[in-house]
Structure 1
Amino acid sequence: MDATSRPPSLAGLRRTYEGAPLTEGDLAPDPVTQFTIWFGEALDAGLPEPNAMILATCSAGGLPTARTVLLKGYDEHGFVFYTNYESRKGRDLRENPRASLLFPWHPIRRQVRVEGTVTRLAREESAAYFRSRPYGSRIGAWASRQSAVVGSRQELDARYAELAARWPEDPPVPDFWGGFRVAPVEMEFWQGQISRMHDRLRYRRAGGGWVVERLAP
């Protein structure tokens, strides 16, 4: 391996994490309320796309994969995102309806992890969101056979142009597109601390309520 092909040194990427302590007494009684507090603080801190989250899925054969998607809504029932149902994540969730989400709020030395079961949104809810999207995004949902191999960029652009000509104003809602909801069974709130002694507090579903546990960093 010559000098130009060697991987760069990672020594300069060391970080010291310092944040206000996170104690059990700081937490809201349920994880969705706690998420709302932290999400508001991420917004106030000016983080770029604080609703970006890493979605991890696993196929029926046990092959994991992860990608970044955008949170489009949440409430006490779970966290919502939209996608092509025939995409890789869509197929994974059809075969194995469980997922993990991660919100990586590095600038404020926090992250939130969600694990839960996944269900499709009702068709009416997905359709209402689809119609609220910009026109270009609606055409794009039709044009992209998400996760399928594409012969060229020109092929993709030609399909977009064809569909835009077919529906110059109001494309219909695709039957292969819609929302998923991740209903949490576990949520962890991570707050960075010095000397890698981070605070990790986890809500775990137990019966009809939540148990809070501290995890070793």
Structure 2
Amino acid sequence: MGPRKTSTTTRVPIPPNVPPEAVISALQAHIPLLSAQPYMVKFEPRAVPVEDLVHDPFFRADGLPLQGFLFQEKVPVIGSLVGIPVVVPCVFQSFAAGTRCRADARGGVTIWSSYEVRRKGEVPRGPGEKEARIGKGNGKGQDADVEWELVEVAVIECCSLVKVFIMHHFALAHQELLQRVVDDVARRIS
């Protein structure tokens, strides 16, 4: 079975006391986004393989120069006891509302993600997406007061044999990832 593409949208509210520009700056620095990954073991800069990306329409002229990283994570297989080490080369491109990232994992898994700060409701809900609420961890503001949200729109390409596994772990990890980024920014500005 060949690779198939699936889209998913993940979002978390940005509390009213957190300036949207501060979240955009964190996204564009890339390091806060990488270090917030729940399964992250380590990451390091790497050269950008331009020949692999030159024909990828995901990276657009409205963005800044590309930055590459080699990201190592341990994806849980049996609860949190057993994990599979995975090394993922990824490339980032900052743009006005946030950053784009293409990650090429082993097994033919490619993920194109756009992390953007948007006005609440500006990005339509994805299929099966649940309403995100301000977490108890930051305890600031009420959902009714939220004007901005951090939204990830991702396209995941993988073979159908691993799709359920990939989508399950992606959904869990990336909801936590976005919340960690917002919480980290909130801590830094308070």
* TM-score in same-fold range (> 0.5): no
Structure with higher RCO (Cα < 8 A, 6+ apart): 2
User: Normalised by the size of structure 1, how large is the TM-score?
Assistant: 0.26
Larger Rg: 1
